[in-house]
Chain A
Amino acid sequence: MNPRSRRQKLGHGVLVALATIYCVFPIYFMLVQSLKTAQEDVFGNPLIVQHPTLENFEELFEARGESRGFVGRALRRSYPFVDWLENTIVVFAGSVTVTLVASILAAYAIGRLRPPGFRWWRRVIFATYVIPQTILFVPLYQVVIRLQLDDNLLALLLVYPTMALPFCIWILSAYFQQLPREVEEAALIEGASRTTAFLKIILPMSRPVIVTAGIFALGTIASDFTLASIFLLSQHNQTIPAGLATMDVALDELVAVAGINVMAIPVIVICTVFARGYVRGLTAAMLEGA
């Protein structure tokens, strides 16, 4: 091996190491925090945990319903974390499903059925991405109240999908559009209905792109807490992000960091499982779409 290429390899390795540390360190730090006792948090080494404990997690799940009481000499509140967890699962699963169903239907219409002006449909829907929901919270709240959904998880099921819809429709329709017409026509000539052809042929072929849309939707939805904390007023109705944002920082730091992990770890696991499919789907959509 000549010295030049060895130097290049070394340089590449150093860059890879730096990038990995940069990306993972904050996540590692939050994990380590959640495993600490209060004592170690104050006196220990901030970067490692010597006596890992799950007591912060236990405390989260022990308390049901809000109560206040003295722990040691400090007044502390407890939080209905189990409720938050349930709400979060319902909202996330529901919103991702709504997003996927609505965007697959719309993308199929744009990419396969091609109504007049289908290119403009696609562009205009994508362009709605420029309008951020977070600046619209006042009128959105009115919509929610008009539909009598305030303090109701359904409000989020209505609003969250639209945060990811434009992008999902955009990549899905790009993918559907480049599938050759014959793949469906063969089935249609054989006498299959359009629905069967869609379910049996198009849908399985599009798995990677659908995975991409789903992961994108999950990532987008999981990044919001503003709307959740505006629409869900009573404490037991909140989702984890909205709830954690209300926690009393000074006293509950470690418990709240544990809460962060309880929410983040499942999301990360799901994303990790589908990570490869996510990139493959993006590539497939970009071959046509970009």
Chain B
Amino acid sequence: MSVAGAARPSLAVENRFRAARRREIRLAYLLLAPAVLLLLLVLAYPVGWEVWTSLTDFSPLNDDRMTFVGLANYRHLLATEEFWRAATVTVVYAVVTSAIKLILGIGFALLLARPFPGRALVFLAIFLPWAYPASVSVIGWYWTLSPPIPTAYSAFMGTLKYSVDGALGSGAWAFLSVTLFNVWRGSSFIGVLLLAGINAIPPELFECALLESKSRWQRFRLVTVPLLLPFIALAAFLTLTSAFADLANVWMLTAGRIVFPVVGTHAYWLAIKAGQFGPAAALSLMLVPMLLAALLVLFRMFDPPEAQRS
């Protein structure tokens, strides 16, 4: 391609060029191999297994005999009330937490966008909730929100819990605490991500906007948001995937008591407690189309086709 533009090179040079390119391509595949092998082993194969199992009645309770049942598991699930309940909760949970996280994250990023005294420290403070390992902070949060023994604050937390549950129905406190935790950690990640996005935008564009429009809101709506949109889309994608698949946090913060089921915990329960691997696999896979749809919509925004790039 690039050779064609130059003065026609001799055949020998062209051949040598091609051979070098072929070596380059071979090297490329070699370098891709470790990552691809890992992904095949740890993602592709399990997904394949999951798809196959979702079409069977495989269960450790059946002495390893399994029969192909087609789409029966899916049909069955779609007919149960628990599935729809879990699906609704999952969608509500994902959308609500993602929306709050995005709003807070945009706020954090804008707060940090311009210099002020102590900015480095505030940046660190905003970075910390994400950096704090979630696997252990979730345990700390659980005990803070639902203190196990009479500590100095457990009476206060107990009152709070029962008034929330009383006002909104049982399970509301659990839902609230999972949301609080998820938002706390996620808004920190998104704030930092969007700050990096703001830094990637040439400052002249903001200066231009400052001259063009006096209204802050207008500047935000007409300049900041459109420029940040690809990064917001990326952030939205990352938070939606983590929220949809959130099984660990829900499990931990409700101490394994499924006060409100999400698809993740319901599938876990089906597989581990009920030994129904087939339906559990079908249930887990129902998440994937939702996530793929989110990916397809958001990918357009954060990875536009080459032609659209300036």
A123-146 with Cβ < 8 A to chain B: 123, 125, 127-140, 142-143
Determine, out of A52-60, A61-69, A199-207, A250-258, the stretch whose residues face the partner at the interface.
A250-258
A279 and B200 CA atoms in complex are apart in Å by: 10
Say yes or no: is B165 at the interface (Cβ < 8 Å to chain A): no
A245 and B162 CA atoms in complex are apart in Å by: 25
Contact A127 B116 (CB under 8 A): no
Contacts of B184 in A (CB 8 A): 22-23, 26
Contact A263 B136 (CB under 8 A): yes
Say yes or no: is B88 at the interface (Cβ < 8 Å to chain A): no
How far in angstroms is the closest Cβ of chain B from A148?
Answer: 14
A264 and B130 CA atoms in complex are apart in Å by: 11
Number of A-B contacts (CB under 8 A): 280
A182 and B259 CA atoms in complex are apart in Å by: 60
Contact A135 B247 (CB under 8 A): yes
Partner of B144, one of A26, A142, A224: A26
How far in angstroms is the closest Cβ of chain B from A85?
Answer: 12
A267 and B303 CA atoms in complex are apart in Å by: 32
Contact B129 A105 (CB under 8 A): no
A134 and B246 CA atoms in complex are apart in Å by: 8
Main secondary structure of the interface of B (DSSP, over half): helix
> Could you tell me how many residues of chain B have their Cβ less than 8 Å away from some Cβ of chain A?
98
How far in angstroms is the closest Cβ of chain B from A199?
Answer: 14
Q: A115-B29, A268-B132, A275-B124 are in contact. Are A123 and B36 (CB under 8 A)?
A: no
Say yes or no: is B133 at the interface (Cβ < 8 Å to chain A): yes
A142 and B64 CA atoms in complex are apart in Å by: 14
How far in angstroms is the closest Cβ of chain B from A258?
Answer: 11
> Could you tell me how many residues of chain A have their Cβ less than 8 Å away from some Cβ of chain B?
97
Q: In this complex, what residue of B is CB-closest to A130?
A: B291
Q: A128-B39, A132-B244, A240-B136 are in contact. Are A253 and B116 (CB under 8 A)?
A: no
Say yes or no: is B193 at the interface (Cβ < 8 Å to chain A): yes
A1-36 with Cβ < 8 A to chain B: 12, 15-16, 19-20, 22-24, 26-27, 29-30, 33
Contacts of A210 in B (CB 8 A): none
Contacts of B188 in A (CB 8 A): 23
Contact B128 A278 (CB under 8 A): no
A140 and B152 CA atoms in complex are apart in Å by: 43
Q: A143-B42, A225-B135 are in contact. Are A123 and B264 (CB under 8 A)?
A: no
21 A-B contact pairs sorted by A residue (CB < 8 Å): A46-B152, A102-B34, A105-B32, A106-B32, A106-B34, A109-B28, A109-B30, A125-B39, A127-B295, A130-B288, A134-B245, A134-B248, A138-B281, A139-B53, A162-B43, A240-B136, A271-B127, A272-B124, A282-B196, A283-B196, A290-B234
A interface vs B, CB < 8 Å? 12, 15-16, 19-20, 22-24, 26-27, 29-30, 33, 41-46, 101-103, 105-106, 108-110, 113-116, 118-119, 121, 123, 125, 127-140, 142-143, 158-159, 161-162, 165-167, 169, 194, 215, 219, 222-226, 228, 240-241, 244-245, 249-251, 253, 256-257, 259-260, 263-264, 267-268, 271-272, 275, 278-280, 282-283, 286-287, 289-290
**11 other contacts beyond A127-B292, A137-B271, A290-B200, with CB at 8 A cut-off?**
A20-B122, A20-B125, A113-B28, A128-B43, A138-B271, A138-B277, A250-B149, A271-B131, A272-B124, A280-B199, A283-B199
